[in-house]
Structure 1
Amino acid sequence: MDTPLRLEAIVASVRPKRFAPVVADWFLRQAGADADFEVGVIDLIDTPLPVDLIETDAVRAFQRRVEAADAFVAVTSEYNHGYPASLKTAFDSVKREWRGKPIGFVSYGGLSGGLRAVEQLRQVVAEIHMVSVRETVSFHEAKRKFDADGQTADAAAIDACARMLRQLSWWATALRTARAADPYPGS
C-alpha cells in the first residue's frame, strides 16, 4: 500500500449521558495503533444531518467525507433491540459514496451487547452496496467492561477488534484497487 487506508469511525449514539465516547475512544486507540489506517471520527452528535434528508451544507460535507474514506466502523449502541435513528439518517443521507466500501461494527449494550442492532445494520449496509466484514466487536454489559480510564480487559473484544481490523484492511485494499480500475457498477 502506498498510502494508508482512510478509516472513518462513525459514533452513532446522540443521547444525553451516552456511553458512546468510552467505547469509541477505546476503539480509536486500537485502530490508531494500526499502521494500515489513517483514522478519522464522525461523531453524529456533532454532524447535523436533517431527518427529512434534504441536502444542506452539512450533508454535502458529510458526503465528501464518506466519499474520501476507504472503510468504516460504526460504533453503535442498541436501543430497544435496534440501532440508533441517527445512524439510519446517516446512511440515508448519502447514496453512491457508500458503495463498494467495507464496514465493521463495534457494538455495546446490555446482555446482547448490541448484536441485534448489528444484525439489522448488516441488512441496511447490504442494500446500500457496502461490504460488512464478518468479525464484530461486542461489549455485553458494557459499563462493567471499562475501567475509569476507558480501558478494558475484555480479551474477546480485544481479539475481535484485531481480527476485524485485519478484515477491514484486506477488504478496503481490495475494493480501493477495484474502484480505481473500474468504478463500482451500482445503480
Structure 2
Amino acid sequence: MNTPPDTVTTNTPRVALRAMEPEDLDWLYAVENNREVWNVGNTNVPYSRYVLHDYIANATNDIYNDGQVRLIVENEEHELIGMVDVFDFNAQHRRAEVSIVVRKEYRRKGYAAAAIDQILDYSLHILHLHQLYAVVAEDNEASLALFLKKNFQTHNRLKEWLFDGVKYTDAIVLQKIL
C-alpha cells in the first residue's frame, strides 16, 4: 500500500506495508530473539526458526482468523525497514493494539511515522477498526513521541507494568479513535 497524498510531507519517507515472506525469516528470528525488546512487549522467550517459519507459512493476515496482522515495512528501495503489528484484536469493540519495530539503522529518519500513517489508514479503511492503542514504556521517549505526533492521546499509566528481569517500569497507554 502506498502513502495517501494527504499524509505525505516533504520530510516523510515513502514506505510500503506488505505481508511477511519466507525471506524475512532471518530478520524476524533476530528481532524475536533480541532480549533488548523483550521488556517492551509480551514476549520473554526465544523463538526457534521452525516456529517462526511455521508462523510465516500459516499466517493468513486475516485479523478475524489470526487475531492479529503483522506487516513488513519497506522503503522505496524495497529494503526491510521494520514491522508493524496490529494485535489483541477485539471484534466486538473494533479495537486492537499496535506496535512497531524499526531496524536501528533506519530509526529517527521518519520511517516509523510513515509506517504508522499507513497502519492507521489500513486499520480504518481495510480492517474497519474504531480505535488503536499502544502500551509504551514510560522511558521509551522515541515511541512516546512517535505516537503523540500521530495524535494518539495518553489515557492511563500502568504502574510497574513491564519487567526487564531486574526492575519494573511504568507503561503509558496511548489511544487513537480512528
TM-score (norm 2): 0.37
More strand by share: 2
Q: Higher relative contact order by CA 8 Å / sep ≥ 6: 1 or 2?
A: 1
More helix by share: 1
